[in-house]
Structure 1
């Protein structure tokens, strides 16, 4: 089975469709970038998973390397695009360059009827507008929402990365069994955040 480079990162959870800028400074991951750039553009894929004090999570997300700029000191600024989630299994250390690798094991998100997903996504987006009141410029927020793709999958990604929650909460969103479950959990987290904010103001 094919292996992919594994990049455990703190505070980083990958969702489909979103751009992820990264600064690469560790030698092993600089080598990873060089190795990816040596491959064809359609082969420049690796996996990001959330790193915690207890290790890294067994579910991560595919990312495709879109652009890389090497700095004079040998570090890199790269831009990746998030893809679907995957299992992080069979982890080992790459023999030559020390960065970790994982088996390529997709874990597709369960999808429901499009009409059902659209309704739940609409409800979640309405909740998000209320949740962000006072924290985001309304016109900028509406512009961002208007530019989202029609697929509820990418609308859910937008919500997941913009919620003011912990990385572990975002990981729970990633690990939700279905897209509808992900959107419903996002609404639950928004309600909890709104209640916490109201309690703090009281």
Structure 2
């Protein structure tokens, strides 16, 4: 089953079950939010979040594109937007919206379901995609893998707190459901966006947990050898203003 969704490209990855605050100030995304708010109340207010491959925002195709490549200096798509975007994303349900006096918005959205992007419409003020839902399968031995990932994640948190010269305020309770745990760890771990995207696109929970176990062990070992990393190395994440 396919569905048309307005698209909100970002320099980050949204996962099912995770909450994401957004400050919407660009005109094309203000139009997107305005269109969602104009819908009947019984219709879901949601859009698709996709990570951008090269870390820049994307916009609809210009009426008369210049000679630039897929993305010009303004981050505007001048070629096929499918080349600029990762193809597995997450549906975002708008759970709270605040309209500011200057026409900007503050949103809180919750990731719900993964989708695969099949095509993109570029004729309107913002991108609209034809999408199909991606089913989440448990895979083999997800429960046993989840136990290992939980232990590895706690060790990683302790090492990370030490590298940041911070302290953990008590041990956090982690979800017992393997799928929920896999997405929480993917969101919380400090990893480059392409790696986070790979975790989102894993075909099942067991494979995601397997990848996370290897990543957490590697990152924990790295932090043990480099206890005083510079701040930009600790984050290694591009800022996405919109």
TM-score (structure 2 length as normaliser): 0.73
Q: Of Structure 1 and Structure 2, which has the larger fraction of its residues in helix? A: 1
Q: Does the 8 A contact of 1:16 with 1:153 survive in 2?
A: no
User: Which residue in 1 is equivalent to 2:67?
Assistant: none
Cα distance change, pair 93–151 in 1 and its aligned pair in 2 (3 A): same
Residue 153 of structure 1 deviates from its aligned partner by: 1.5
Structure 2 match to 1:24: 24
Structure 1 unaligned segments of length 5 or more: list them: none
Candidates 86, 105, 114, aligned match of 1:85: 114
Structure 2 matches for 1:92-103, cutoff 5 A?
92-95=121-124, 98-103=125-130
Distance 1:134 1:190, change over 3 A: closer
Residues 144-163 of structure 1 mapped to structure 2, 5 A cutoff? 144-145=173-174, 148=175, 150-163=176-189
Spell out, residue by residue over 1:122-146, the C-alpha distance to the aligned partner (whole angstroms, 9 max, x if none).
1101110011114344444x2342x
Partner of 1:3: 4
- Give the match for residue 58 of structure 1: 87
Alignment of 1:180 with 2:206, yes or no, is: yes
- TM-score when normalising by structure 1: 0.87
**In the TM superposition, what whole-angstrom CA distance separates every residue of 1:124-177 from its partner, at most 9, and x where no partner exists?**
01110011114344444x2342xx3x4221111110111111111100101111
Question: Which residue among 133, 143, 149 is the counterpart of 2:172?
Answer: 143
Deviations 1:41-82 (A, max 9, x none): 552111000013261111111111111101111111000000
Please say if 1:75 is aligned against 2:75: no
CA RMSD of aligned residues (A): 2.0
In 1, Cα distance between equivalents of 2:158 and 2:43: 41
Residue of structure 1 equivalent to 2:68:
none
Greater Cα offset, 17-26 or 41-50? 41-50
Whole-angstrom CA distance in 2 between matches of 1:198 and 1:112: 32
Q: Secondary structure at the match of 1:105?
A: strand
Question: Deviation of residue 16 (structure 1)?
Answer: 1.0
Is the partner of 2:52 in helix, strand or coil?
strand
More strand by share: 1
Name the structure 1 match of 2:142.
Answer: 117
Question: How far apart are the structure 2 equivalents of 1:101 and 1:43?
Answer: 16
Equivalent in the alignment of 1:133: 158
CA–CA distance in structure 2, aligned partners of residues 43 and 164 of structure 1 = 32
Offset of 1:191 from its aligned partner? 1.5
DSSP 3-state at the match of 1:99: coil
